[in-house]
Amino acid sequence: ARGHRVMTISPRYDQYKDAWDTSVAVEVKVGDSIEIVRFFHCYKRGVDRVFVDHPMFLEKVWGKTASKIYGPKAGLDYLDNELRFSLLCQAALEAPKVLNLNSSNYFSGPYGEDVLFIANDWHTALIPCYLKSMYQSRGI
């Protein structure tokens, strides 16, 4: 409403009927391995809604594993939560640079490097750490 370009980034836990595959993939280092994530996108109510696609997210959906997103039952975490959310944070930092989004009449192309990140809850707590250690140290 104030003229800002806004993007939200979430794990792709479901098929999200309006989201389309951008065909953009990036590699992120998670633990000792390199993982490839893809981005899905839809544009709703003036917001670019981006979903990070990786099997670690999609397999944790109700109906697929009959379990919850963060753990098999309340109070018990999945053993891969740290890896999954590290992957989400790194993908979130790449999305504004690599996605060429043209869904708005006012904005088009990548967001670039002049962005503000709002890290909401513990799932995205690594974003400020990664910004400082992996991006700021390289002048980004």
Q: According to the model, what pLDDT value does residue 103 have?
A: 82
Query: In this structure, are residues 96 and 112 in contact, taking their beta carbons and an 8 Å threshold?
Result: yes
Q: Is the Cα torsion angle 74, 62, 64, 17 positive or negative in sign?
A: negative
Banded model confidence at residue 129, pLDDT cuts 50, 70, 90: very high
Angle of CA points 120, 121, 123, to nearest 5°: 100
Domain borders along the chain are 5-134
CATH superfamily assigned to domain 5-134: Glycogen Phosphorylase B; (3.40.50.2000)
pLDDT above 90: residue 128: yes
* pLDDT tens-digit readout, 106-127: 888 899 888 999 998 888 999 9
* pLDDT tens-digit readout, 54-103: 988 876 665 555 557 777 777 888 788 899 999 999 999 999 999 999 88
